[in-house]
Amino acid sequence: MIDFAFPTEKLAVEIDGFGCHRDVKAFQHDRTRRNRLVAAGWTVLNYTWADLLERPHQVTS
């Protein structure tokens, strides 16, 4: 599941954290999904929770 999607712009925003990537299977699943989105012409932006809280200017610029 994409955290935030803007289908008209083909833009996906993912908020990544260690909690969701506790094992190799989950990590691989996310890489496969990202590659499929990129192959379909989407731009995928990945941020961490710390990016949102501590560096919001980097997220919005």
- Confidence check: pLDDT of 39 > 90: yes
The span from the CA of 48 to the CA of 50, in Å, is 5
47, 13 in Cβ contact below 8 A?
A: yes
Q: What are the domain boundaries of the chain?
A: 1-21+42-61
Among candidates 5, 15, 12, 14, which has minimal Cα distance to 53?
15
Rounded to 5 degrees, φ, ψ at 12 are -115, 135
Which two structure tokens, joined as six digits, stand for 18? 């260690």
Q: What is the pLDDT of residues 42-57, one digit of tens each?
A: 999 999 888 988 999 9
For the whole model, what pTM was predicted?
Answer: 0.79
Do the bridges between strand 4-6 and strand 11-16 make them parallel or antiparallel, or are there none, so unpaired? antiparallel
Per-residue pLDDT, 19: 63
